[in-house]
A and B are shown apart, each in its own frame.
Chain A
Amino acid sequence: MIRIILRQLTVLILTLFLLSLLAFSLAYLFPGDVVTNASGVLATDVHYPAVAHARAFDKNILSQYLAYMSHLFSYDWGVSLQDGVSVWQEFKLRFPATLELSLLAMALALLLGPPLGILAAINHNKIIDQVITLFSLSGYSIPVFWMAQLCILIFAVALGWVPIAGQVNPLFDIPLVSGSILVDIWLSEQPYRGIALLNALQHMLLPVIVLATVPLVLLMRLTRNACIEVLRLNFVKGAYARGLSTPEVLFKHVIPNAMQEVTLHISTAFSLLITNILIIELIFSWPGLGRWLVRSIYERDYPVIQGALLLLTSLILLVNITTTIIHAWRFPRVRRELNAT
């Protein structure tokens, strides 16, 4: 197990190193002045020579990379070309908002996806299975931006159950502390905390559901297929022959074996979710990282693009490695295969 963790961590560090190289070289790849692209300081600025010196742009490429890394770790990610705010300060407020949305959606997907898949597998080729398969097929194929618009049109405009967009009603004067709205409401010592929390949850309902659909459907499909595979195997027949009841067979033999396949794909589901969050944040005007990234791409705000891409991709990689480690920890059989290669 230790060997697996060490190996995975090595891979992670190597990948992060490659990623940092890529992020560093982006400053050269972007059109325009390199120093401006990396730091957000314009060439006309009085600080320009000092910044260029601090980032070692007068020296060779290796010391430039080292200077980039030291800036990265001292949280000096440059300033936005657009409004001059520090990129790191802005990230600190926006990243929790994104994380909040994605964690809630992922939790919903994990809570509903596998059970529905198991339900479909038990009733294989019956009506429940067909309904669930149809649902999974359409959920898998529906473009998320269309679905979000349809949901807004139906549930927010026509029925008026939930608000159209935003994070919380602006009448609640919530001070921005961490960026995550639920935590902020909790931290604000105000008498109407409960109502504000309810309001924020109402705002969150639609984006979370839309965001959860794709990972949910993916997990459901994988669980269903894995369960059907396992149900066909001989040891299930053996378990029945030994006189175990159906729930016992299911919970002790089928589900643990079927989950092996599914656990590995949690990271796939998560990376799909991160892709979709860019679009969802734009539609629901959620003040998160994704919306900022998209906006900065068409406003050519290079320091922001550089930072946001680095942050999002490292998040995905981190989740990926964690899933692999958990997978190896929970399923010893996989460990042997990983060691053999």
Chain B
Amino acid sequence: MRHDLYYEERNPSPLQQAWLDFYAKPLARASLYTLCFLLFIALLGSFIAPFGANEQFSDALSLPPAWSNHGDLRFLLGTDSLGRDMLSRILHGARFTFGLPLLMVCIAGLLGMSAGVMVAMNAGLASASIKHLLGLFFSIPSLLLALIIIAVIGPGLSNAAIAIGLVFVPQFLLTTRNAIVEELDKDYVIASQLNGVSSSYLFMAIILPNIVKPLVTQFTLAFSAAILDIAALGFLGLGAQSPVPEWGAMLALSVELAYNTPWVMALPGLALFLTLISVNVMGETLRSTLQARMEH
């Protein structure tokens, strides 16, 4: 540790402060670790899984988890009615239920936000009626819109992913546009404009730091909705098709079997529940810390 000759108070930057606030909350930290773990599984799950996703063991049908009396230590979380290892299936499935929505929301966010910036910074037809109209149109829930798209392009995992990506683009566009338009009227922006900054500098250095909160909020909301939607589509049989170990599709498979082998239903659902709760806690805490940062 280095001792300074001069007393100097170090204040963290606003972003650092937000991070410190975030990290100080145990629930938020737990959700952050869970999400990192999920990301790790989504990337490398297929390598660390003990068995293949569709590898069948005909000698071990419908085995309960290992800690029960009839369990087998080879299959830590039991097997399903076709003798497939549940642990491996869940590890493989993280890629579809967690990784795929993350990817689609990132793409949708990038497209939507850049389009929103273009619209807000350049266009003059920023009329309130158009805003209301679009706002009303996007109050239609994302799953219903995704269903329309799937009805057109047909069911399937890749089509479901495309549908979900497409659904979130306009939402990102609208949020970004509204956030920027709201800021554009404020005094500090007008002052910088009078200073004669270029519009790209105006956006990057002056407006962007102030619209972080709505963007982050929208991102986490969209991410949680996307996970739920892709699982729901898998459950309805319109997304991932049967042998794919997507958690929603696994739940759909277990509908008839749940009464005899409840773990087949409980485990993917629990995984999905933990994922969603971490995303939501993370989003909620980010929102409140960013809000606190704004108020400081």
Question: Which chain B residues border A12 with CB–CB below 8 Å?
Answer: 136
Question: Which chain A residues border B87 with CB–CB below 8 Å?
Answer: none
CB distance from A330 to the nearest CB of B (A): 19
State how many residues of chain A have any CB contact under 8 Å with chain B.
48
**Within the assembled complex, what's the spacing in Å between the Cα atoms of A144 and B143?**
13
Question: Which chain A residues border B259 with CB–CB below 8 Å?
Answer: 153, 157
**Would you give the 0/1 interface string for A132-143, flagging 1 where the beta carbon is closer than 8 Å to chain B?**
000001101111
Taking a contact as CB atoms under 8 Å apart, the answer to whether B147 and A11 are in contact is: no
Question: Which chain A residues border B150 with CB–CB below 8 Å?
Answer: 297
Question: Which chain B residues border A312 with CB–CB below 8 Å?
Answer: 144
State how many residues of chain B have any CB contact under 8 Å with chain A.
46
Q: Which of B241-277 contact A (CB under 8 A)?
A: 248, 251-252, 254-255, 258-259, 262, 265-266, 269, 272-273, 276-277
Question: Which chain B residues border A298 with CB–CB below 8 Å?
Answer: 155, 237-238
Q: Which of A265-290 contact B (CB under 8 A)?
A: 267-268, 271-272, 274-275, 278-279, 282-283
Question: Which chain A residues border B128 with CB–CB below 8 Å?
Answer: 341
CB distance from B64 to the nearest CB of A (A): 15
Is residue B151 contacting chain A, with contact meaning CB distance below 8 A?
yes
CB distance from A142 to the nearest CB of B (A): 6
Known interface pairs A275-B144, A282-B236; A137-B265 also in contact (CB < 8 Å): no
Which residue of B is nearest A313, CB measured?
Answer: B140
Is residue B114 contacting chain A, with contact meaning CB distance below 8 A?
no
**Within the assembled complex, what's the spacing in Å between the Cα atoms of A55 and B141?**
31
Which residue of A is nearest B150, CB measured?
Answer: A297
CB distance from B127 to the nearest CB of A (A): 9
Classify the secondary structure of A's interface with B. helix
- Our pick among B140, B238, B273 for the contact of A143 (Cβ within 8 Å) is B273
Taking a contact as CB atoms under 8 Å apart, the answer to whether B144 and A313 are in contact is: yes
Classify the secondary structure of B's interface with A. helix
Is residue B58 contacting chain A, with contact meaning CB distance below 8 A?
no
- Our pick among A18, A152, A275, A321 for the contact of B143 (Cβ within 8 Å) is A275
Taking a contact as CB atoms under 8 Å apart, the answer to whether B262 and A145 are in contact is: no
Taking a contact as CB atoms under 8 Å apart, the answer to whether B231 and A272 are in contact is: no
Taking a contact as CB atoms under 8 Å apart, the answer to whether B136 and A271 are in contact is: no
**Within the assembled complex, what's the spacing in Å between the Cα atoms of A22 and B141?**
16
Known interface pairs A316-B141, A317-B139; A140-B272 also in contact (CB < 8 Å): no
**Within the assembled complex, what's the spacing in Å between the Cα atoms of A272 and B150?**
19
- Our pick among B136, B147, B262, B272 for the contact of A297 (Cβ within 8 Å) is B147
Question: Which chain B residues border A153 with CB–CB below 8 Å?
Answer: 258-259, 262, 265
Is residue B63 contacting chain A, with contact meaning CB distance below 8 A?
no
Is residue A15 contacting chain B, with contact meaning CB distance below 8 A?
yes
Question: Which chain A residues border B262 with CB–CB below 8 Å?
Answer: 153
Taking a contact as CB atoms under 8 Å apart, the answer to whether B144 and A274 are in contact is: yes
Question: Which chain B residues border A150 with CB–CB below 8 Å?
Answer: 265-266, 269
**Would you give the 0/1 interface string for A241-285, flagging 1 where the beta carbon is closer than 8 Å to chain B?**
000000000000000000000000001100110110011001100
- Our pick among A29, A143, A279 for the contact of B272 (Cβ within 8 Å) is A143
Taking a contact as CB atoms under 8 Å apart, the answer to whether B258 and A267 are in contact is: no
**Within the assembled complex, what's the spacing in Å between the Cα atoms of A221 and B280?**
13
Which residue of B is nearest A297, CB measured?
Answer: B151
Taking a contact as CB atoms under 8 Å apart, the answer to whether B133 and A149 are in contact is: no
Is residue A197 contacting chain B, with contact meaning CB distance below 8 A?
no
Is residue A119 contacting chain B, with contact meaning CB distance below 8 A?
no
Is residue A309 contacting chain B, with contact meaning CB distance below 8 A?
yes
Is residue A34 contacting chain B, with contact meaning CB distance below 8 A?
no
Taking a contact as CB atoms under 8 Å apart, the answer to whether B133 and A14 are in contact is: yes
Query: Can you list 9 A-B contacts (CB < 8 A)?
Result: A12-B136, A140-B280, A143-B251, A150-B265, A271-B139, A275-B144, A279-B235, A294-B238, A298-B237
Chain B contacts to A: CB under 8 angstroms: 128-129, 132-133, 136-137, 139-144, 147-148, 150-152, 154-155, 224, 228, 231-232, 235-238, 248, 251-252, 254-255, 258-259, 262, 265-266, 269, 272-273, 276-277, 279-281, 284
Q: Besides the contacts A278-B236, A297-B150, A316-B140, what 14 more A-B pairs have beta carbons closer than 8 Å?
A: A14-B133, A18-B137, A30-B152, A141-B276, A141-B280, A143-B228, A143-B231, A153-B259, A153-B262, A153-B265, A283-B255, A294-B236, A294-B238, A313-B144
Of all A-B residue pairs in the complex, the 4 with the closest CB atoms, nearest first, are A146-B269, A141-B276, A141-B277, A341-B128
